[in-house]
A and B are shown apart, each in its own frame.
Chain A
Amino acid sequence: MVSRDPVPGDAPEGEPADGRFPAPPAPREPSARWPAAPAPEASGDPSRDAFAAPPADPAPPSRPAGAFRTWRGRRPFAGGLLMTLGGAEILVTEKASIGVVVHIGMQGLTGYLIPAVLVVCGVLTIVNPAQRMFYSVLGVLLALGSWVTSNLGGFFAGLLLGILGACLTFGWVPDQEPRTGPLRRRRARRAAAADARP
Chain B
Amino acid sequence: MAPSTPSVPARRGRVRLRRTALMGVPAAAAAAALVVLTAQGAIAAQFSISGMPFTVTATQLQGTGFEQYGGLDNMAPNSPNAGDTGGQELVMVSAIKDATLANLCQSVDLGGVDLVIHAGGGSKLVAAHDLVTDSSTIAGDASFKNIEIGGDASTFTKGDSKGPSGVFGQQADTVTINNLRQVNYATTAAAFTLPGLHMSFNSKGC
Residues in A lying within 8 Å of B, measured CB to CB: 5-6, 24-25, 27-33, 53-54, 56-57, 59-61, 65, 70, 73-76, 78-79, 93-97, 100-101, 103-104, 107-108, 110-112, 129, 136-137, 140, 143-144, 147-152, 155-156, 159, 163, 166-168, 170-179
B3 within 8 A of A: yes
Q: Is the CB of B50 within 8 A of A96?
A: yes
In the bound complex, what is the Cα–Cα distance between A107 and B73 (angstroms)?
A: 22
Known: A112-B48, A176-B14, A178-B12. 8 other contacts (CB 8 A): A30-B5, A76-B15, A94-B49, A100-B132, A100-B186, A101-B188, A103-B132, A172-B16
In the bound complex, what is the Cα–Cα distance between A29 and B190 (angstroms)?
A: 66
Q: Is the CB of B23 within 8 A of A175?
A: no
Please, how many residues of chain B have a CB less than 8 angstroms from a CB on the other chain? Answer: 55
Whether A94 contacts B50 in the complex (CB less than 8 A), given A100-B132, A173-B13, A175-B11, comes out as yes
CB distance from B80 to the nearest CB of A (A): 12
Of B25-33, B56-64, B166-174, the one with at least 4 CB within 8 A of chain A: B25-33
In the complex, the chain B residue whose C-beta lies closest to that of A172 is B15
In the bound complex, what is the Cα–Cα distance between A182 and B69 (angstroms)?
A: 69
Q: Is the CB of B24 within 8 A of A144?
A: no
Interface contact tally, CB-CB below 8 A: 177
B23 neighbours in A (Cβ, 8 Å): 136-137, 140, 166-167, 170-171
Residues in B lying within 8 Å of A, measured CB to CB: 1, 3-24, 27-28, 30-31, 34-35, 38, 43-51, 73-74, 76, 108, 115, 117, 130, 132, 134, 161-162, 186, 188, 190-191, 199
Classify the secondary structure of B's interface with A.
mixed
Q: Is the CB of A173 within 8 A of B48?
A: no
In the bound complex, what is the Cα–Cα distance between A148 and B193 (angstroms)?
A: 10
CB distance from A129 to the nearest CB of B (A): 8
Q: Is the CB of A170 within 8 A of B13?
A: no
A54 neighbours in B (Cβ, 8 Å): 6
Q: Is the CB of A152 within 8 A of B45?
A: yes
Q: Is the CB of A97 within 8 A of B50?
A: yes
The 5 lowest CB-CB distance pairs between A and B, nearest first, are: A171-B20, A73-B12, A171-B19, A174-B13, A167-B24
Q: Is the CB of B1 within 8 A of A33?
A: no
Q: Is the CB of B4 within 8 A of A29?
A: yes
Q: Is the CB of B31 within 8 A of A163?
A: yes
A27 neighbours in B (Cβ, 8 Å): 1, 3-4
- Across the interface, B15 reaches (CB within 8 A) one of A53, A78, A95, namely A78
In the bound complex, what is the Cα–Cα distance between A173 and B8 (angstroms)?
A: 20
CB distance from A91 to the nearest CB of B (A): 11
In the complex, the chain A residue whose C-beta lies closest to that of B73 is A97
Q: Is the CB of A150 within 8 A of B13?
A: no
Q: Is the CB of A97 within 8 A of B12?
A: no
Which of A75, A101, A137, A140 is the most central at the interface, judged by chain B CB atoms within 10 Å of its CB?
Answer: A140
B47 neighbours in A (Cβ, 8 Å): 151-152
In the bound complex, what is the Cα–Cα distance between A143 and B15 (angstroms)?
A: 20
CB distance from B113 to the nearest CB of A (A): 12
In the bound complex, what is the Cα–Cα distance between A74 and B139 (angstroms)?
A: 58
- Across the interface, A155 reaches (CB within 8 A) one of B5, B14, B199, namely B199
CB distance from B158 to the nearest CB of A (A): 15
Q: Is the CB of B190 within 8 A of A178?
A: no
